[in-house]
Amino acid sequence: MKLQVEKLNLEFSGKEILHDISFSIQEGEFVSILGPSGCGKSTILNILAGLIEDYSGQLFVDDERIKGVSSHFAYMPQNDLLLEWRTILDNVCLYGEINHDKSMKQRALKEFETFGLSGYENAYPSSLSGGMRQRAAFLRTSLCKADILLLDEPFGALDVITRNDMQDWLLQLRKNYNRTTLLVTHDIDEALYLSDRILILSNKPSRILQEIDLSKEKKSRDWLFSQSVLKKQVYELLKGENHA
């Protein structure tokens, strides 16, 4: 499904946060929003998830206008929000339980191996590593029958090696799961490595400074290491914004 965002504007307490943000995401595309800290990245996801309603502008999914909470989106916030008293299987099936989706348990069990969680179906979150917890949270999000995944800094709290492993895993996963995804990150490497397209935001009031199309690139860690010119260009753009 295609997402179209038209002229999003938002103020918090009279302070302009978002200024005329417009972009679209095609079916199956993986798009990242990269921007300086506090520029409004999470706010954009919160608007899409229906958690903020007092914005101006319009949202369309396949030309249908949407407002408020919509079943088109599955949202994974920064914190994994796993419930410590529920097993991993019960955690990943939480939305299925709420929506009386009886098929979810079967669908979930089939995915444990792909998500690197085999054998942990009946374990509790406290026995999982940070990376495994994020994969469990990601499995819970992707089991939702939503068209578009909204990921807010999913690997932000992980150490650099685990974070890289998770990025490698997600890139692999994308080859089989062609889900339309909008990722928020402030990690340049992560955005370059995972995205078909990157939207770079300015400082507040944020607007789109630049779009980078990477859809034709063959991604690998070696490809990422060879992108020093592009990385420098993005870094200087963001650094200029931090000092603006």
Query: Where do contacts with ligand ATP occur on this chain (CB under 6 A)?
Result: 12-13, 17, 35, 37-43, 186
Nearest distance in Å: CB 33, ligand ATP: 8
What span, in angstroms and rounded, lies between the C-alpha atoms of 93 and 102? 10
Q: Considering beta carbons, is residue 44 or 148 the nearer one to ligand ATP?
A: 44
CB 221 within 8 A of CB 59: no
Nearest distance in Å: CB 39, ligand ATP: 4
What span, in angstroms and rounded, lies between the C-alpha atoms of 52 and 144? 21
Q: Considering beta carbons, is residue 37 or 122 the nearer one to ligand ATP?
A: 37
Nearest distance in Å: CB 132, ligand ATP: 23
3-state secondary structure of 68: coil
* 233, 235, 238, 244 alpha-carbon torsion, rounded to 10°: -90
Amino acid letter, 142: S
**CA 140 remoteness from chain centre:** 13
Nearest distance in Å: CB 229, ligand ATP: 25
Q: Considering beta carbons, is residue 42 or 180 the nearer one to ligand ATP?
A: 42
Q: Considering beta carbons, is residue 5 or 17 the nearer one to ligand ATP?
A: 17
